[in-house]
Copies of this chain bind each other. A is one copy, B any other.
Amino acid sequence: MSAGTLVVVGSVALDSIEWPACGPKDDILGGAATFFSVAASYFAKPHLVGVVGADMPEEHLTFLRSRGVDLGGLERIAGGRTFRWKGRYFGEDLCSRESLDTQLGVFADFQPKLPEAWRDADLLFLANIAPELQLDVRQQMRRPKLVAADTMNFWIEGRREALERTLAHVDLLIINDEESRLLAGTSNLVRAAHAIQKLGPANVIIKRGDAGALLFAGHEIFAAPAFPLSDVLDPTGAGDSFAGGLMGHLAQHLSAGGALGPDAIRRALIAGNVVASFSVEGYGVDRLRSLDRAEIDARFRAFRALTNVPEPR
């Protein structure tokens, strides 16, 4: 494996979504590993471990391959049905979401297997799946340089012990503010992050939607606002696009001979921020289909200008 190889494990799904400003769209390409991979692909080649059924349209996989995503770890189950999520967004700012239906399909029996050659990868992202599976995948890896993970309320409330066993082997936990509060048992985000660090992850990123993200790295804190947007069309996949941009940027950095220092993680977080900001400007992965690296680099520069605090005089 070359330096900076990036593996992601998670869902590849078919989503059916309704938005207030737009009629429903059915069976569009979704899933955490999908958004992650496409976002990461602007910086590095993502290696995707997942499962789909016979009903996954070939054009979706063709799109992923066109983005350079290695699908060598994607099982296709003959006669199976792909994981499907149906949901609806509310409000002018799409701040409320209702899940209408979830059909696990082939995802119910998902037993992720890393292709032998991928076990030497440097970077692993464990998207939001059962913590037992996350740990199993983690243990299939030989000497990863950084293991990042996401999780959700469902596992925090229902499988806390398994989740804590997994967190002991995670270097970077990327979760949203409500999840961090639930996991840590405190509503203050600084206290929550420090409590989570004690469970294992030296680095914790708390995502706050349009309020930005906080990175707790050892004793250091990095606060990044979200990129201000006047038109948010679809928040689906924003968190996974963020994680994908971040991990992809780290992968690129490692492959260029860089080390995983604090500056590298800050830059990667901004890259994640930037890709996520594009992602929500289109439905599903649509905006990412046309996005190019020059647009990302321009918004990265705009982000530095947006947050630049002049030196005191």
User: Taking the complex as formed, is A24 at the interface, i.e. its CB lies under 8 A from any CB of chain B?
Assistant: no
Contact A188 B266 (CB under 8 A): no
- In chain B, what residue has the closest Cβ to A249? B312
Does A232 lie within 8 Å of B267, measured CB to CB?
no
0 or 1 for each of A260-282: is its CB under 8 Å from B? (1 = yes) = 00010011001000000000000
Q: Are B266 and A310 in contact (CB under 8 A)?
A: yes
A307 with B223: CB separation less than 8 A? yes
Q: Does A99 have its Cβ within 8 Å of any Cβ on chain B?
A: no
Distance, CA A231 to CA B224, complexed state (A): 21
- Contact (Cβ within 8 A) B313 A258: yes
Closest B residue, CB atoms, query A311: B304
Which one of B93, B270, B309 contacts A224 once the chains associate, using CB atoms below 8 Å?
B309
B212 touches A225 (CB 8 A): yes
A45 beta carbon closer than 8 Å to chain B:
no
Expressed in whole angstroms, the minimum distance between the Cβ of A215 and any Cβ of chain B is: 10
- Distance in angstroms from A308 CB to nearest chain B CB is 7
**A190 CB within 8 Å of chain B:** yes
B221 touching A313, Cβ below 8 Å: no
In contact, B92 and A228 (Cβ under 8 angstroms): no
List A211-253 residues whose CB lies under 8 Å from chain B. Answer: 211-212, 214, 221-226, 228-232, 253
Asked if A230 contacts B191 (CB within 8 A), the reply is: yes
Query: CB-CB < 8 A to A297: which residues of B?
Result: 312
> With a CB–CB cut-off of 8 A, which chain B residues contact A162?
none
A309 close to B309 (CB less than 8 A): no
Contact check, A211 vs B214: say whether CB atoms are below 8 A apart.
Answer: no
CB of A187 within 8 A of chain B? yes
Contact of A309 with B266 at beta-carbon distance under 8 Å, contacts A92-B188, A225-B223, A232-B188 already known? yes
Chain A residues proximal to chain B, CB less than 8 Å:
91-93, 95, 186-191, 194, 208, 210-212, 214, 221-226, 228-232, 253, 256, 258, 263, 266-267, 270, 297, 300-301, 303-304, 306-313
20 contacts between A and B (CB under 8 A): A92-B188, A93-B188, A188-B231, A191-B230, A194-B230, A211-B211, A212-B225, A214-B228, A222-B307, A224-B307, A253-B313, A256-B313, A258-B313, A266-B310, A267-B309, A267-B312, A267-B313, A304-B311, A307-B307, A308-B309
Other contacts beyond A92-B187, A190-B229, A222-B307: 16, CB < 8 A: A92-B186, A93-B187, A95-B187, A212-B223, A214-B225, A222-B306, A223-B225, A223-B306, A224-B225, A256-B313, A266-B308, A266-B310, A301-B312, A304-B309, A307-B309, A308-B309
Closest 3 CB pairs of A and B: A211-B211, A223-B225, A190-B230
